[in-house]
Amino acid sequence: MREVRTTPKFDRAYKRFVRHNAILKQAIDEAIKQMALDVFAPSLETHKLSGKLFKAFSCSCGYDCRIVFTIERSESTSDEVIVLHDVGTHDEVY
């Protein structure tokens, strides 16, 4: 199981995006749990990004909901860490 960390930008976007939608909050939370277990699970539709986000990945957590993240190495343990950078609709995060 990988460690999952969030950035302040992700935290703000998450709060704004799920403010009035409990079902969407649950879908995002489930996607994050799945990412910790297997970031390349078929249900997440994880794919590498290009352009200005070329070092990042994106996964789906619903019809028009995406999570942008990177996979990094922990300095202290050398384990993989998933760092969540942004969440929102396709147009918002790209």
| Predicted confidence (pLDDT) per residue in 41-62, tens digit | 999 999 999 999 999 999 999 8
| pLDDT value at residue 9 | 96
d(CA 74, CA 54) in angstroms, rounded, equals 20
Cβ atoms < 10 Å from Cβ of 15: 11
| pLDDT value at residue 40 | 94
What pTM did the predictor assign?
Answer: 0.92
CATH fold of 3-93, please?
A: YaeB-like fold (3.30.2310)
| pLDDT value at residue 67 | 97
